[in-house]
Structure 1
Amino acid sequence: MSEAPILVNRQDGYVILTLNRPDKLNSFNEEMHKALMAALVDVEQDESCRALVLTASGKGFCAGQDLGDRVKPDPNAPPPDLTQTIEAYYNPLIRKLRSLSIPVVCAVNGVAAGAGANIALACDIVLAAKRAKFLQAFAKIGLVPDSGGTYFLPRLLGDARARALCLLAEPISAEKAEEWGLIYRAVDDEALMEEAIALAKHLATQPTIGLGLIKQALNASASNSLDEQLDLERDYQGEAGRTPDYIEGVMAFMEKRAPNFTGRR
């Protein structure tokens, strides 16, 4: 029996999900899409899980779509309708990663190309091994960046760099990605998982409801006016202020001790 396309490692307070098709550079086929979405739904429903790490096995993080699924033996056959795959799998995956109410740390262990790069960018905090590269490979095969690429890149890099990366389809190193603000940090290859797990352990002890509201506020800021965002901050602050973790945080500050956040409403 072949190995599972997604490995699930449950720890105290957090979960590690690992893309596991290393012989295919963890490129997506239908089976891996379904397994990853099922794992994310399980994480979302698990109240004991307060942080998530997404990483991959082998030498690469993710090469995007498995093009072997797209090759037709009959050259006269009509081309596949790529909108179906995007609508059924990639768009729901990006929406799920962005909407999770817990922080998502992505540990990019190698090349992240095409949709693989943009799946990483959909996460909250991206660490990358220094050997990793990010590549918007779509133009090489006549396609358009998907999985949020045309959304994330201009916001993270600015228009000029986003256009160049998409049109030229040139890879950039993890260290350049950090310098440009595409990712949070590039780290030594051997330290990647240690640092990602340290972040997850820390986040799993923090005020989870508040962190989820921070995520929602940042997500909304891309399309809100200033007035709309101020109103949203007001409403979310009211919600956060009614949680036990806010009271615990204030009491710990006043008593000069470390807080004991539960992440519960």
Structure 2
Amino acid sequence: MPKVIYETKDRIARITLNRPEAKNAIDQETHALLWQAWEDFAADDTLDVAILTGAGDAFCAGADLKTFIPPWMDATPVRVRENVATGLGGLTRGLHRTYKPVIAAVNGWALAGGLETALACDIRIASERAQFGSFEARRGYHHGDGGIVRLVNTCGTGVALEMLLTAEPIDAERALRANMVSRVVPHERLLEEAETTAQHILRNSQRAVRSAKETIMDVVGRPLDDQLRIEALNGYSSADPEETLALLQRFYDKSDAGRAGSTETPL
């Protein structure tokens, strides 16, 4: 079986890390396969959402400590500089400007680079069995593929400092309270919940969805005036008139998909 399973159906790419015997740790081959999967997803006009999960009882244990990390101990400055463009698995850095939404279905342990990979996804849904950890300090280094940046942006400095300095894990409920995940669901319903979230996204204008993701990424860390300017420019230029007028007509007719209340319609 391949180390990364890439499946597509009904506008959704389903990507599964498939090294359960190694807790889905990312070796060089898996790294390359993930890059290819994300590039294929971004380039395929028939796909609009991706769901990433892991096989077995782990989401991802991070970079393979036996094969991926040791070569970096004697890396030259040139190699380090070149690596800036190629983050672990691609989504963490390098292919992170994919504006199609990505959902992480965190089925178990998300450690080190596995946590970084989950944080690089746009929406994280956790199984009740999920655990999250930044264990790198136990091995003599720390996050280098977006883990610190995204932990601070998503959960704040308090959670980031605790996780990195203690190198102790947090469970799914603590992750929920820390805003790391959107919700915690029964393990057996995890993929079903991820699929439902994907369907929620798919009922919307994909132009609007991708512009919203781009805008969120662009405003992080900028001064308020810059943030407001970017939002206004992107928001008021995001609509395709034909699509927007058609969607407004559905609203007027009370027939838009997923409508709740007395005129409820299915997704």
Q: AA paired with 1:199?
A: T
| The one of 123, 127, 130 aligned to 2:128 | 130
Structure 1 residue runs of 4+, over 4 Å off? 84-87
Matches within 5 A, 1:154-233: 154-233=152-231
- Any conservation in 2 of the 1:249–1:259 contact (CA below 8 Å)? no
Q: AA paired with 1:252?
A: R
Separation of aligned partners in 1, 2:187 and 2:209: 28
Q: What is the aligned-residue identity percentage?
A: 30
Separation of aligned partners in 2, 1:56 and 1:78: 26
Deviation at 1:223, TM superposition (A): 2.3
Q: AA paired with 1:257?
A: S
Separation of aligned partners in 1, 2:62 and 2:257: 41
Q: What residue in structure 1 maps to residue 264 of structure 2?
A: none
Q: What residue in structure 2 maps to residue 263 of structure 1?
A: none
Matches within 5 A, 1:49-128: 49-70=47-68, 79-81=73-75, 83=80, 87-90=85-88, 92-95=90-93, 98-128=96-126
Separation of aligned partners in 1, 2:241 and 2:42: 19
Separation of aligned partners in 1, 2:210 and 2:167: 34
Give the direction of change, closer, same or farther, for the CA distance of 1:240–1:95 in structure 2 (3 Å limit). Answer: same
Number of residue equivalences: 254
RMSD in angstroms over aligned alpha carbons? Answer: 2.2
Give the direction of change, closer, same or farther, for the CA distance of 1:136–1:78 in structure 2 (3 Å limit). Answer: closer
Separation of aligned partners in 2, 1:244 and 1:109: 40
- Secondary structure of the residue that 2:181 maps to in structure 1? coil
Q: AA paired with 1:172?
A: I
- Any conservation in 1 of the 2:13–2:47 contact (CA below 8 Å)? yes
Give the direction of change, closer, same or farther, for the CA distance of 1:136–1:248 in structure 2 (3 Å limit). Answer: same
Q: Could you state the TM-score of these two structures normalised by the residue count of structure 1? A: 0.89
Deviations, residues 216-241 of structure 1 (Å, cap 9, x unaligned): 11111212211111111121123222
Separation of aligned partners in 2, 1:80 and 1:184: 40
- Secondary structure of the residue that 2:6 maps to in structure 1? strand
Deviation at 1:7, TM superposition (A): 0.5
- Any conservation in 1 of the 2:86–2:93 contact (CA below 8 Å)? no
Deviations, residues 4-24 of structure 1 (Å, cap 9, x unaligned): 111011111111000111111
Separation of aligned partners in 1, 2:69 and 2:211: 43
Q: Could you state the TM-score of these two structures normalised by the residue count of structure 2? A: 0.88
Q: Give the gaps of 5 or more residues in structure 1.
A: 261-265
Q: AA paired with 2:35?
A: M
Q: What residue in structure 2 maps to residue 19 of structure 1?
A: 17
- Secondary structure of the residue that 1:126 maps to in structure 2? strand
Give the direction of change, closer, same or farther, for the CA distance of 1:254–1:100 in structure 2 (3 Å limit). Answer: same
Q: AA paired with 1:63?
A: A
Separation of aligned partners in 1, 2:86 and 2:60: 19
